[in-house]
Structure 1
Amino acid sequence: MKKIIQFKKNNFIKKIIYLDLKNNKYSQIHTRFPPEPNGYLHLGHAKALCLNFGIANDYQGYCNLRFDDTNPKKTKKKYINSIINDIQWLGFKWNGKIHYTSEYFKILYEYAIQLINKELAYVDLLDKNQIKEYRGTLTQKGKNSPYRNHTIEQNIKLFRQMQNGELNPGTACLRAKIDMESNYMIMRDPVLYRIIFSKNDSNHHKWYIYPTYDFSHCISDSIEGITHSLCTLEFTENKKIYDWILKNINIKNIPKQYEYSRLQLEYSILSKRKLQTLIDNKIVKGWDDPRMPTISGLKRRGYTPQSITNFCKKIGITKQENIIELSLLECCIRNELNYTAPRIMAILNPIKIIITNYPINYVEKLIVPNHPNRPELGTRTLLFYREIYIDQSDFSEEDNPNYKRLTLKQEVRLRYSYVIQAYKIKKDINNNIKIIYCKYDPKTLGKSPDNRKIKGVIHWIASNNICKAEFHIYNRLFTIPNPENNKNFLNYINKQSLIIKKGLIESNIINNHDQLTYQFEREGYFYMEKTKKNHFIFNQVTTLRENKKNKNKILKK
């Protein structure tokens, strides 16, 4: 007999499942993840994945993967492949084979016939606009279609004509016969089947009619033996159809639907339709653009499976609608990379320094750690030379007591190396600094100079130890915290969401083929996306520190 586990940090769904098992309502928990393959998975799907697969794992149950391919015009093989890859990358394993709603089309068709024979469904010949008009409004009750009282024989004949492709799309649909005066709009004779002249990607049989989500989903759950059908709050009203259909057909298993709040992430949108709009308007370069909150976009940016699942665990499962701060997601990857990512030096905005009192043609080798707190990650060799590069932001012509970098009057320490002092600069015709001339103190390698206080430490790379690199700096995609609820969300695109810089990086990286993620000292965490000969492209994963201080991670609506 399996032990029933009651977890200390339960969400309300786990509490329900615990009681169901304790009261012997079910002997085995069975959940499902039913994505529609009309786009890539995003963080909202990751939350659903963690919930459904997590419950199956916690209670020694099963979780099915089922593609809701009931709209052939939007279903594409590339989306199916992407979803499969994302689920596997996140570390989840589904039960048995992959399911498709289309594999149940013949069974669904028979259940539709069953409803017609029970006089609980009819073929409506009203067009789309007329159906909308007859349905009424929130304050005005609907009225019956003139085709609602067709005989069973008439409905069977018309439905088979629909199935055989004898009626054109938009000229007929199958509707449930419930109550056109219901207070719930969704129960005013919802559409169960519509005509679509298109071949389903995952179904090799030719169909001219396709079931709606409301009709197919509950029956598919029942066929697969799903015990707990978990969905977000926008499907709360759909539960009425879910239960009505299962009650009125001859089917054995009756799953129960439970709803939880969908993920809303600060400065992001998680609507596939709106994400597609960003792509169509060329605001981003595709579903896997690193600025997108898709799993593939986050992966390309450098997020790890563990950071995403940890984020989903931290936000939890509730019925309360909240906006989650972006900083919580960033914190999850930052905490992981702070421990795992080796350090290396990169210069995003290089400026040359010549150390005039350093011996010409002399190269010094400095052995430095790859991680300050993890000696097991080893060491690397830095080359020190009279010509080095530092970041432009680490030098100022003006002396300022609050500026802890290099000036013409203030010394600075080079990381792992010597103390230097600038004494002259050279500018180009545009008055931009081209070269900084410095002197170094040979007695300061690895120790502080006598009787001198050094205010700052900066990173650097020697000119004989560099590779050219391209750095992609990512900022928030939107300028307002909640673009999801703004009809004109395209008006709030952050034009600085991607900044590309061309700089330099330690040449040590050439020999480290397996390592892709690094902490660039004093710059942030970066992920190596593509490499060419002597050229590298790095995507910024996140900054070194959270930009906001002492803020709650969840913003209440």
Structure 2
Amino acid sequence: MMNTKIKNNNFICQIINKDFNKNKDLSFRTRFPPEPNGYLHIGHAKSICLNFELAHLYKGQCNLRFDDTNPLKENIKYIDSIKYDINWLGYKWYGEIRYSSEYFSKLYQYAQELIKKGLAYVDHLNKEQIREYRGTLNTPGKNSPYRNRTIKENIELFQKMKKGEFSEGEACLRAKIDMSSSFIIMRDPVLYRIIFTKHHQTKKKWCIYPMYDFAHCLSDSIEGITHSLCTLEFQDNKCLYNWILKHTSVTHHPKQYEFSRLNLEFSILSKRKLKILIDKNIIKGWDDPRIPTLSGLRRKGYTPSSIKEFCQKIGVTKQNNLIEFGMLEYCIRKELNQTAIRTMAILEPIKVFLYNLDQNHKEKFIVPNHPDNPEMGTHEIIFTNTIYIERSDFKEKYDKKYKRLKLGEKIRLRYSYIITAEKIEKDKDNNIISIICYCDLHTLGKKPKNNKNPPVIHWISVNNTIPAEFRLYSQLFNIKNPEQQKNFLFYINPASLIKKNGFIEKKIGETIQKKINDNIKLFFQFERIGYFCIDNIDSKKNYLIFNRTVSLRDIWNSKKN
């Protein structure tokens, strides 16, 4: 049974429905065709969800094909990461993994066909000259001086290219179309170029490589793809896509349809620009939690279900727009609110000494792992006469609006007693090193005598802690659309990563230490702070690191407003 929500809201579904009305026996086939020149990002997730969900919806198939036509930028590690990301999202491609490089022999034959039809020629202009001859949007291009070579001469020269008898950049194969076309891509585009680099699949078998536009449409045809879905920046390429199919002997002609790419606030999605950030050591790698690669989002604590819900919410349209980052955060916050274990952590500790309690005072409290889900169980916390609280939860000077601990005022410790701050201790530099408080032992689970509930803060007993590092991530850029800026590096947010050294509850820490090598993603809501996950890459058994996945509320938008 069809998912009517997808059917009614997706213009591509409407196209497919019409195709099925015309041909009841249509065998729906689509593909996800990444170039293995970087890691996948949230924009690719939109395409993955679309193609794989459509294949499921129409009982068809979705291939995974690597359009691997440029060995200079491709790497086997990118292929491995892409396969992992697709599986992580919960999708399975049809049959074996495919590569455009599998079809190189066929593509070479199709190129020869074009030459024999007088529709392709070997050119000796270099890159700069080709660009100059191509013209602009306002001025037509002009023909290459090599454009009118004979078919025989072009066949011989193309064979020499294949044999490696020309150096890189010395010759290329171009389609002979129209140098005055209103579509610049149709002004004799390059079909093949020379690259003397080992290919990750074909090794050194080839030294000429098809351009993406030439290989892509023919690979679609070879695989019997019925609906070739791509983003709007390939809209002009459709002319070339159809031209190549029309003028070669392929019998199957896929149809290309374009949808809007995903543009996300405060983010860069260009793989080329992401690589610049890595090369300049602005970020630590493709899995840096500050960038929206799937590896980065996964490390930050995003789940497959939250990413798929985000993709469903933004929908599929032909209108380019900038998606609010808060929508992505909403999806993961909504999920973790239901699934994350509640516990207490202190990121910037300051000691509180409860002077009326004996130094051997020790109480155990059993607290829920989730206040609304008893099935998630409980854990034990320890209460002693010396505890840590957040430094930001105490204020020395009186402030009427400040609703946390201050001198002479009462506060309730989460799951515990009401305390009153009476004095402070400072070091020689006038920094507060501890707060001396009175603990009212008659207030456990009870309202104070004046029946006025004080504010509640979290805490950890000094004797019930494990040290930990907390990484607080914010947007990498401080403007909404850095993609539009030529010098996008100028807009880097210097506070995109802040590290804190504090403590977590001992029982929780010991549980994590036992599982740290199991590569299991553990999620927590550190009460009053935010949702965090363990960083499985940098953490060690004796040194735990937590990444903040998302705050408890939309801090970024609240700062803007």
The bucket for the TM-score relative to the shorter chain is over 0.9
Q: Which residue of 2 aligns with 1:184?
A: 183
Q: Which residue of 1 aligns with 2:143?
A: 144
Distance 2:197 2:423 in 1: 73
Q: Which residue of 1 aligns with 2:531?
A: 525
* Contact kept in structure 2, 1:269 and 1:483, CA below 8 Å: yes
Offset of 1:205 from its aligned partner?
Answer: 5.0
Read off the aligned partner of 1:482 and give its amino acid letter: N
Distance 1:289 1:515 in 2: 16
Matched, 1:214 2:213: yes
Spell out structure 1 runs of 4+ moving beyond 6 A: 548-552
Secondary structure at the aligned position of 1:424 is classed as: strand
C-alpha change, 1:116 and 1:26, in structure 2 (3 Å) is: farther
Offset of 1:533 from its aligned partner?
Answer: 3.6
Read off the aligned partner of 1:43 and give its amino acid letter: I
Aligned residue among 540, 548, 553 for 1:540:
548
- Percent of counterpart pairs with the same letter? 60
* Contact kept in structure 2, 1:4 and 1:21, CA below 8 Å: no
Q: Which structure 2 residues correspond to residues 299-378 of structure 1 after superposition, within 5 A?
A: 299-378=298-377
* Contact kept in structure 2, 1:343 and 1:521, CA below 8 Å: yes
* Contact kept in structure 2, 1:292 and 1:298, CA below 8 Å: yes
Secondary structure at the aligned position of 1:381 is classed as: strand
Distance 1:389 1:421 in 2: 15
Matched, 1:240 2:246: no
Q: Which residue of 2 aligns with 1:259?
A: 258
Offset of 1:134 from its aligned partner?
Answer: 1.6
Secondary structure at the aligned position of 1:329 is classed as: helix
Distance 2:466 2:179 in 1: 71
Q: Which residue of 2 aligns with 1:555?
A: none
Distance 1:198 1:550 in 2: 51
The unaligned stretches of length 5 or more in structure 1 are 553-557
* Contact kept in structure 1, 2:134 and 2:141, CA below 8 Å: yes
Distance 2:138 2:21 in 1: 44
Offset of 1:474 from its aligned partner?
Answer: 0.4
Read off the aligned partner of 1:295 and give its amino acid letter: L
Offset of 1:72 from its aligned partner?
Answer: 0.6
Distance 1:248 1:83 in 2: 33
Q: Which residue of 1 aligns with 2:40?
A: 41
C-alpha change, 1:25 and 1:227, in structure 2 (3 Å) is: farther
Distance 2:397 2:76 in 1: 60
Secondary structure at the aligned position of 1:160 is classed as: helix
Distance 1:93 1:454 in 2: 54
C-alpha change, 1:14 and 1:402, in structure 2 (3 Å) is: same
Q: Which structure 2 residues correspond to residues 14-163 of structure 1 after superposition, within 5 A?
A: 14-24=13-23, 27-163=26-162
C-alpha offsets along residues 44-88 of structure 1, whole Å, 9 cap, x if unaligned?
Answer: 111110111111111111000011110011110111111111111
Read off the aligned partner of 1:208 and give its amino acid letter: C
Distance 1:364 1:372 in 2: 21
Secondary structure at the aligned position of 1:444 is classed as: coil
Distance 1:21 1:257 in 2: 16
Offset of 1:10 from its aligned partner?
Answer: 2.5
TM-score, length-scaled by structure 1: 0.96
Q: Which residue of 2 aligns with 1:450?
A: 449
C-alpha offsets along residues 267-322 of structure 1, whole Å, 9 cap, x if unaligned?
Answer: 00100111011111111011111111100011111111111111111111111110
Offset of 1:511 from its aligned partner?
Answer: 2.2
Offset of 1:243 from its aligned partner?
Answer: 0.2
* Contact kept in structure 2, 1:405 and 1:458, CA below 8 Å: yes
* Contact kept in structure 2, 1:5 and 1:59, CA below 8 Å: no
Offset of 1:147 from its aligned partner?
Answer: 1.3
C-alpha change, 1:293 and 1:515, in structure 2 (3 Å) is: closer
C-alpha offsets along residues 494-553 of structure 1, whole Å, 9 cap, x if unaligned?
Answer: 00000000001101111253661100000000011143243210000000012367999x
Distance 1:363 1:97 in 2: 61
C-alpha offsets along residues 87-137 of structure 1, whole Å, 9 cap, x if unaligned?
Answer: 111111000000011000000000001111111111111122221222112
Read off the aligned partner of 1:83 and give its amino acid letter: I
Distance 1:538 1:414 in 2: 24
Distance 1:230 1:116 in 2: 29
Offset of 1:191 from its aligned partner?
Answer: 0.6
C-alpha change, 1:5 and 1:402, in structure 2 (3 Å) is: closer
TM-score, length-scaled by structure 2: 0.96
C-alpha change, 1:85 and 1:416, in structure 2 (3 Å) is: same
Offset of 1:431 from its aligned partner?
Answer: 0.8
C-alpha change, 1:506 and 1:550, in structure 2 (3 Å) is: closer
RMSD: 1.6
C-alpha offsets along residues 408-460 of structure 1, whole Å, 9 cap, x if unaligned?
Answer: 12100000000000101000111110010101111100111121423300000
Read off the aligned partner of 1:271 and give its amino acid letter: S
Distance 2:337 2:11 in 1: 33
Read off the aligned partner of 2:289 and give its amino acid letter: P
Distance 1:479 1:547 in 2: 14
Distance 2:398 2:271 in 1: 52
Offset of 1:204 from its aligned partner?
Answer: 3.4
Offset of 1:41 from its aligned partner?
Answer: 0.4
> Which is worse superposed, 280-289 or 452-461?
452-461
Distance 1:328 1:551 in 2: 16
C-alpha change, 1:260 and 1:299, in structure 2 (3 Å) is: same
Secondary structure at the aligned position of 2:45 is classed as: helix
Offset of 1:143 from its aligned partner?
Answer: 1.5
